[in-house]
Amino acid sequence: MKNKKLYVAINVVVNIVTIGFVILCWNKILTLNLKTILVAIIPFICIHLLRIIRQYIILMEYKIKIKKLTRAYLLSSIINTTIPLRIGELYKAYLYGYEIKNYKKSIIAVLIDKFFDAIFLLILFMVVEIINKQAMSLVTMLLMVFVFLIIIIYTSFENTYRFLNKYLILNKNTKIGNRCLKILEEIKDIFVDVKSMVKDREILIVMITLLSWVFELSFAFIICKSINVDLGLINFITYINDSFLGIQNGLSNYYIYATAIIFTIYIGIIFITKIINLTKNRGE
């Protein structure tokens, strides 16, 4: 009951703030070129549909309802566009964890989801920065640390586990040895969870990730064309950096507006669905 009350309280606060944010966005959206917004919203919807599908595939065994997953994704997306450093991912992990009754697994699922995006972005950022002889940006450094740390841990874990497990079993009579053995087993459980979430679906997840970024580029191209700005890779990287750091400027503003439109469409669909269900129930 305590967890339920906390869950409801957090969601009430987030929903109130989100609705207020969306209303403010619409004040600006109504002053923009409607034709451009309508054209750009198509690839933008595809971006989010693909990423929702990707997250669903990762969490497939836990049978989270697509409605709950979509809501968590959209709310976290709005938080991510307004607060720096992708803080919305923490909220997303919290909502997923509540639904599947396991916060550890939900955090793992969100990290896996972000890992595949991070690989694509790291390659893109490094290529552009090397070609243009630019200093490595903060986002590139963070991506590099995240990607390489995950890869090293994942690829070396099984051999490392066998070695440490054997060593600790031989020294388990000590208090420190027993404690370390327990920690090692907990890390192994995390590794098993990661493996189960990506096993036999790695290629599908990679394909979905690449396609989502194709639509991301398409969205950026449409917006840049409408405001008479050339979409070079440097401008695209600046746009990603601004989004990551919560800087509302230029192209990143349009990303925020598009997110607000998507959320409005989602609320509209939910509202219409509830009216239809109420009408059916009264008819019966």
Scanning 59-172, the segments in alpha helix (DSSP H) are 66-82, 88-100, 103-131, 138-170
Which residue type is seen at 61? E
pTM for this predicted structure: 0.85
Q: What is the DSSP letter of 128?
A: H
Cα–Cα distance measured from residue 214 to residue 10, given in angstroms and rounded to the nearest whole number: 34
Q: Is the four-CA dihedral 58, 62, 65, 68 of positive or negative sign?
A: negative
Measure CA 176 to chain center: 38
How many domains are there within the chain? 1
* pLDDT given for residue 211 in this prediction: 95
* pLDDT given for residue 9 in this prediction: 84
Report the SS3 class of residue 241.
helix
As averages over each run of 10 residues, the pLDDT of the chain (284 residues) reads: 74 83 85 82 92 93 86 84 77 90 92 91 86 79 88 90 80 73 87 91 94 90 80 74 67 81 85 80 65
Q: Which residues contact 19 (CB under 8 A, 6 or more apart)?
A: none
* pLDDT given for residue 1 in this prediction: 46
* pLDDT given for residue 207 in this prediction: 95
Range of 25's domain?
Answer: 2-283
How is 200-212 classified by DSSP, letter by letter?
A: TTHHHHHHHHHHH
Of how many residues is the chain composed?
284
Q: Is the four-CA dihedral 18, 34, 247, 149 of positive or negative sign?
A: positive
Q: Which residues contact 204 (CB under 8 A, 6 or more apart)?
A: 57
